[in-house]
Amino acid sequence: IYRVNGMINPIINFYLSPQTYEQAFEMSGFSKFKWKKVLLNPDNQQGEDYWKKFFENEPPFVAMVAEKD
């Protein structure tokens, strides 16, 4: 649980395995599901050196794309 000053409700983070996400999307009727690597926007104002350590061992978040027929 993360508490942030000024926020009424805490942020609660859960770990779910990749398979759990894939199964949930499939059970919800999505026929296509892909994990996407998070990339740095080439137009970022800070430059690559600023973000180097953050992206070094994969960012602490993921992106996914799903499609329904």
pLDDT digits over 17-53, tens only? 999 999 999 999 999 999 988 888 888 888 778 888 8
pTM: 0.60
pLDDT at position 66: 93
pLDDT at position 26: 94
Average pLDDT, stretch 1-29? 87
pLDDT at position 55: 81
- Give the C-alpha separation, 15 to 28, whole Å: 20
- Give the C-alpha separation, 31 to 69, whole Å: 7
Is residue 26 within 8 A of residue 68, CB to CB? The reply is no
Helix (H) or strand (E) holding 32, with range, is: strand 30-36
